[in-house]
Chain A
Amino acid sequence: MGQSIQQPFLRQSYRLYMVLFFIFLAAPLIAAGLFAFNDSLFPVLPWRGFTLDWFFNDTEPKLGMFHDRRLLRGLYYSFIIACFVSMLSVFVGTCNAFLFVRHDFPAKNFFYILMVLPLVIPGVILGISILAMASNIANSVEKSMGIDLELLRPGIFLVVLGQFSFITTITSLIITARLKKFDDTMEEAAFNLGASKTHVLRTITLPFLRPAMIAGGIVAFLVSFENFNTTLFLVGSEAPLTITMYDRMVKVGSTPVLNAVSFFLMLGSALLALISVLVQRDTKT
């Protein structure tokens, strides 16, 4: 590999370009994470020494994130939402994978494009369209039957639906890719050895899909956790973390506690991403 670039000068410049690119990628993340440890009331230079106050301190003005009730509540809601979204989207994604890999039906290609579509619809539009429809239904039900469908008003349920609507595309693509690599004779072999259809599914096909399902679930969890555009329109009083942070940023201005949250989130994401990579690597051998 790499035989196409022979001149040392070009090769070195290419390397330099890559290094610069990764510095560009890393710079804002480092800035966002590093100021969490600066012993100052504002996330600005100069460096005033190392502190963990923005994580653990329990008094104002340096209230640490683990004592900030609103941030903690946001974290909790984000967690709940992400759990629901990843479970639902992995379930539907697995069904979709079987549907598109194992079955033939009219207009399959059209339906496949429909499946991919939510990924390219702007999140803002997904948010408002679902909000508009839910309110519409809720209003008509209220008018005709006098029942207030709390569920269809902005809140956790709608946030889950909104995020689920496009995250399912991601999990479907991940699980479909894996199912396509499945060697169909493996099912026949199991069948030939005396297994029933459900037993084959349970012992052969699903274990083969498991790494992709776990990876899809983790991706769904992370994308849900960090989503902002769709959530913004559907959120009720139970604001997830990104919304809480945004509020804080716009209303209070940036304080190092936001850096602490950023650092915490980046750490969590990195860990989850690592797990998903390890799970997938496990199956390549």
Chain B
Amino acid sequence: MSRPVAKDARNLALILLFMPFALWILLLIVLPHIGMFVLSLKEKVAPRVYEYGFDNYINFAQEPIYWNTLLRTGTVSLLVTFLALLIGFPVAYYIAKIAGKRTKGALFLLCLIPLWVSDLIRAFGWILLLRETGVISSALQASGIINTPIEMLYNDATVVMGLVYTVVLFMIVPLVSTLDGMNDEMIEAGYNLGGNGFTVLRRIIIPYAMPGIVAGCIVVFMLSAGSYLTPILLGGKNSSWFTEQIYDQFISRYNWESGAAFGFVLLLFTSIVVWLGLKLSGQTLSSTVAKS
């Protein structure tokens, strides 16, 4: 079917299929981000008078509260990523390799169900459990372990726990699908050739699962750093999360230029962290997240 007509038809199909993709990526992703960058370079010198410059970024750099918040967001997100991997890996391994055929599907579904529930409801649930008048506090009082109600909300540990809860599923899902593709015989061969549990895990399972691990870590880190509801609701108004600063600039202070700069800083910062992670693990974006 290499006749010219067929070739033309194929090219036409390619162009027609490319159109929606191009419109979507160009109009909703690329142009808005360029626009945001341009906006972040604008600076209000008088009402309705703007100048271009890096003042918004300089402002950011000169105000320790801002970059402290950013660093805090980054480190806490890294901690969340690490904890999610630590907690999620055994769960994914159990689902992919240990559970029987039937339990496997059911457990995987159980993992997915919270995914379909809004962040808001999940955070709301934690509030009901952890606050001073919450379920755990009252239960502990009723059982006589404590005398006065305790407040478990509004501290860093709770924020970390809430974030891990929100994102751990995004770690488990890619891990299950990579581990699922791993032949059981490979693990058995590892034992058969004299490896113990630890060496099999370190030399066979983890290297094999690396693309899944990195994909999970990238998604989890980005979700955590970009999350808004969980840190605010569980950490209180002063949880110092960077997205809160962006919201503050945009909505409360109506300073879009500086908000755009903040957004760009967050994007740049998370991209650098992800890039470093890819370099350190020897993976690429197309071997992990962009792999289907």
Residues of A at the B interface (CB closer than 8 Å) are 1-5, 14, 17-18, 21-22, 24-32, 35, 42-46, 91-92, 95-96, 98-99, 103, 105, 109, 111-126, 128-133, 136, 161-162, 164-165, 168, 173, 176-177, 180, 222, 225-226, 228-229, 232-233, 242, 245-246, 249, 254, 258-259, 262, 265-266, 269-270, 272-273, 277
**Which of B128, B133, B243 counts the most A-chain CB atoms under 10 A from its CB?**
B128
Give Cα distance in the complex from A123 to B135, angstroms.
Answer: 32
Contact, CB under 8 Å: A229 / B229? yes
Within 8 Å CB of B39, what residues of A? 132, 136
Q: Known: A117-B29, A122-B270. Contact between A14 and B94, CB under 8 A?
A: yes
Interchain CB contact under 8 A, A242 and B218: no
* A191 CB, min distance to chain B CBs, angstroms: 10
State whether B124 touches A229 (Cβ < 8 A): no
Given contacts A120-B219, A133-B32, contact A32 B119 (CB under 8 A): no
**A177 and B229 alpha carbons, distance in the complex (Å):** 32
Provide a sorted-by-A list of 26 A–B residue pairs whose CB atoms are within 8 angstroms: A1-B97, A1-B100, A4-B187, A4-B200, A25-B110, A25-B165, A28-B165, A29-B125, A99-B21, A112-B286, A113-B286, A117-B29, A120-B222, A120-B289, A125-B226, A125-B266, A128-B250, A164-B28, A176-B292, A228-B228, A229-B228, A254-B127, A265-B117, A266-B121, A269-B116, A273-B113
Contacts A4-B200, A112-B290, A132-B32 supplied; 18 other A-B pairs, CB < 8 Å: A2-B97, A14-B90, A28-B123, A30-B125, A43-B128, A45-B138, A98-B17, A103-B13, A124-B226, A124-B263, A124-B266, A126-B32, A128-B259, A129-B33, A133-B36, A176-B292, A269-B113, A273-B112
Contacts of A24 in B (CB 8 A): 165
The answer to whether A114 touches B227 (Cβ under 8 A) is no
Does the CB pair A246–B184 fall under 8 Å?
no
Instruction: Provide the bound-state CA to CA distance between A162 and B32, in Å.
Output: 11
Which A residues are in CB contact (< 8 Å) with B197?
A: 4-5
Contact A124:B98 (CB < 8 A) given known A99-B18, A130-B32? no
A130 to B27, CA, bound (A): 9
List the B residue with the shortest CB-CB distance to A128. B263
> What residues on B are CB-neighbors of A109 within 8 Å?
286
When chains A and B are docked, how far (Å) is the Cα of A32 from the Cα of B123? 9
A18 to B88, CA, bound (A): 10
Please state if B28 and A124 are interface contacts (CB–CB under 8 Å): no
Bound complex: CA of A249 vs CA of B95, how far in Å? 36
**Cβ 8 A contact of A31, one of B25, B116, B129, B243:** B129
* A115-B21, A133-B31 given; A228·B118 CB < 8 A: yes
Alpha-carbon distance between A98 and B90 when the two chains are bound, in angstroms: 36
Given the known A-B contacts A124-B263, A133-B31, are A254 and B124 also in contact in the complex, defined by CB atoms under 8 Å?
yes
Residue of A nearest to B9 (CB): A197
Interface string of B198-221 (1 = CB under 8 A from A): 001000000000000000001100
Q: B interface, by DSSP: helix, strand, loop or mixed?
A: helix
When the two chains form their complex, are residues B122 and A29 in contact, meaning their CB atoms are under 8 A apart?
Answer: yes
Contacts of A130 in B (CB 8 A): 28, 32
Measured CB to CB, the nearest residue on chain B to A46 is B138
Number of interface residues of B (CB under 8 A): 88
B188-A18 in contact (CB<8A)? no
Is the CB–CB distance between B222 and A226 below 8 Å? Answer: no
Which B residues fall within an 8 A CB radius of A? Answer: 10, 13-14, 17-21, 24-25, 28-29, 31-33, 35-36, 39, 87, 90-91, 94, 97-100, 107, 109-114, 116-129, 133-135, 138-139, 142, 165, 184, 187-188, 191, 197, 200, 218-219, 222-223, 225-229, 233, 243, 246-247, 250-251, 256, 259-260, 263, 266-267, 270, 274, 285-286, 289-290, 292
What A residues does B286 contact at CB under 8 A?
109, 112-113
Q: Given A25-B111, A249-B124, verify A165-B292 contact (CB < 8 Å).
A: no
Residue in contact with B36 in the complex, picked from A29, A31, A129, A222, CB distance below 8 Å: A129
A44 touches B133 (CB 8 A): yes
Contact assessment for B263 and A129 in the assembled complex, using a CB-CB cutoff below 8 Å:
yes
For A35, list chain B residues within 8 Å (CB): 128
Cα A250 to Cα B98 in complex, Å, equals: 44
The reply to whether A122 and B243 contact each other, CB–CB distance below 8 Å, is yes
With A112-B290, A113-B290 given, is the CB distance from A95 to B263 under 8 Å?
Answer: no
Centre residue among B20, B110, B124 by max chain A CB count within 10 A: B124
Is the CB–CB distance between A28 and B14 below 8 Å? no
Query: CA–CA, A18 to B139, complex, Å?
Result: 24
Contacts of B223 in A (CB 8 A): 122
Interchain CB contact under 8 A, A105 and B290: no
Nearest B-chain residue to A18, judged by Cβ: B94
B138 to chain A, nearest CB (A): 4
Q: Is B21 a contact partner of A165 (Cβ separation < 8 A)?
A: no
Q: Which of B17, B87, B112 contacts A95 (CB 8 A)?
A: B17
Lowest 5 A-B CB distances belong to which pairs?
A122-B226, A28-B125, A226-B118, A129-B32, A32-B125
In the complex, chain B residues whose CB is within 8 Å of the CB of A2 = 97-98
Count chain A CB atoms within 10 A of each CB in B36, B99, B225 and give the residue with the most: B36
Task: Tell which of A29, A31, A232 has the most Cβ of chain B within 10 Å.
Answer: A31
